[in-house]
A and B are shown apart, each in its own frame.
Chain A
């Protein structure tokens, strides 16, 4: 028997098995079998890979920690810088809002000229209500000029230096302002007090005052320009035997949080003292 003429059965068998397996695999019949076979292999490979990564991380950790520390410092510095920027922007936004409101006020009263000023301090004595502003005679400020905010009347300048001024608030106990109530148009006198509250006196008995009426400067006396809002009547005290009524009021300006104010520079207060008769004068 010629060995060359022998049929290679093992090869044919293996080829047929291989082709069969390929056909079965293409047909999807071997998937459960392959899953069953590969699952433990993949699990082992995953375990080995994880251990290897852990060892690799452990070996390279010191270099990475140093780098991370540097990155962390840089990021912390950036965060601090950005936080500072946020605070600055918030402050600028607050100032912008105030200035925008002040501009609205200036537009509402175009007949006046204004100088803006920041409040830099309060009087050291708790007995008087004065504020310090950072504008003075160098900026054209003079004694007696009225001071306002976007809400309404604040007070008037009582002392001036070259670069600062002292403003007497209308809440000061020695202040009196001639006011007019709207819509009744009744005249009254506003006076401050040590409590920081302001009240209205000398309201004629003939006038019926209701809470909610607006209080504006009347311009009488020449110390303040007319028609500047001060506040609103909150309560009226009236007795039949009194010559006048009195009232409590809520100012529109928050005097405890004054930041920026406007000084009306083209208003000239009128000095009425020469017209007031003195005892013994001819």
Chain B
């Protein structure tokens, strides 16, 4: 229960950081997605059993802060979480590699979901230009932040889920 409750202040702070700071430091038109990175890093932690809860709460906060429809970040974050949980079982021995791989896939999934939704809603989005000036710069920033975010989330998860040692 505590890990789920902890998600609320964590994502509230992240949403504030994301809107007030991170979104104001774009690379071309792309920007880092702290919430996505935290969701991925949290899902990759071995003892964590609340990955879905965190994905739901994270997407709820971003849905509130963004002008995008609520379901757009929800789909992107849930799909990334599913992929993270799948990958955690496969390459659990190299979590940092999984973090980088999932950052790549998660960013792509999130951006494809957003671009598709906006295109269906009638917003003109030239795909190649979108890839060049939004997706690739965002991917670069996300990969740059992936390792530090993973380290912080790992410590936080270790604090919330202390290892039980059998004596």
* Contacting residues of chain A (123-170) with chain B, CB-CB under 8 angstroms: 123-128, 130, 132, 158-159, 166, 168
Contact check, B66 vs A125: say whether CB atoms are below 8 A apart.
yes
User: Inside 8 A of B35's CB, which chain A residues have their CB?
Assistant: 124
Contact check, B31 vs A168: say whether CB atoms are below 8 A apart.
no
A191 to B123: give the CA distance in the assembly, Å.
11
User: Inside 8 A of A174's CB, which chain B residues have their CB?
Assistant: 118, 121-123
- Which one of B39-47, B90-98, B129-137, B158-166 is at the A interface? B129-137
Q: Place the interface of chain A in its size category.
A: 20 to 34
A228 to B152: give the CA distance in the assembly, Å.
48
Min CB gap B7→A, angstroms: 17
A-B pairs with CB below 8 Å: how many? Answer: 82
Min CB gap A143→B, angstroms: 12
Q: Is B50 an interface residue (CB 8 A)?
A: no
Contact check, B126 vs A130: say whether CB atoms are below 8 A apart.
no
A259 to B105: give the CA distance in the assembly, Å.
35
A166 to B111: give the CA distance in the assembly, Å.
22
- The listed residue with most B CB atoms (<10 A of its CB), out of A124, A127, A193, A194, is A124
Contact check, A194 vs B125: say whether CB atoms are below 8 A apart.
yes
Q: How many of B's residues come within 8 Å of A, CB to CB?
A: 36
With both beta carbons as reference points, the residue of chain B lying nearest to A174 in the complex is identified as: B123
Contact check, B124 vs A121: say whether CB atoms are below 8 A apart.
no
B interface footprint on A239-266 (CB within 8 Å = 1, 0 otherwise): 0000000000000000000000000000
Q: Is A222 an interface residue (CB 8 A)?
A: no
User: Inside 8 A of A132's CB, which chain B residues have their CB?
Assistant: 19, 65
Residue among B20, B65, B124 making CB contact with A173, cutoff 8 Å: B124
Known A173-B123, A174-B122, A194-B126; judge A123-B20 contact (CB<8 A). no
B interface footprint on A173-207 (CB within 8 Å = 1, 0 otherwise): 11000000000000000010111100000000000
Interface class of chain B by DSSP = helix
Contact check, A123 vs B115: say whether CB atoms are below 8 A apart.
no
A interface footprint on B11-33 (CB within 8 Å = 1, 0 otherwise): 00001101110111010011101
User: Inside 8 A of B73's CB, which chain A residues have their CB?
Assistant: 125
Min CB gap A150→B, angstroms: 21
User: Inside 8 A of B115's CB, which chain A residues have their CB?
Assistant: 127
User: Inside 8 A of A126's CB, which chain B residues have their CB?
Assistant: 23, 26, 29-31, 134, 138
A230 to B123: give the CA distance in the assembly, Å.
22
Contact check, A121 vs B20: say whether CB atoms are below 8 A apart.
yes
Q: Is B68 an interface residue (CB 8 A)?
A: yes
Residue among B15, B24, B134 making CB contact with A127, cutoff 8 Å: B134
Min CB gap A78→B, angstroms: 32
A and B contact pairs by CB, cutoff 8 A, 13 listed: A120-B20, A121-B24, A122-B19, A122-B23, A123-B19, A123-B68, A124-B62, A127-B68, A127-B118, A132-B19, A132-B65, A173-B125, A191-B124
B interface vs A, CB < 8 Å? 15-16, 18-20, 22-24, 26, 29-31, 33, 35, 62, 65-68, 72-73, 111, 114-115, 118, 121-126, 129-130, 133-134, 138
Other than A123-B23, A132-B65, A191-B124, give 6 A-B pairs with Cβ distance below 8 A.
Answer: A120-B20, A127-B111, A127-B114, A173-B123, A194-B29, A194-B126
A interface vs B, CB < 8 Å? 120-128, 130, 132, 158-159, 166, 168, 173-174, 191, 193-196
9 cross-chain pairs, A with B, having the tightest CB-CB distances, nearest first: A121-B19, A122-B23, A130-B67, A174-B123, A124-B18, A121-B20, A126-B31, A173-B123, A127-B114
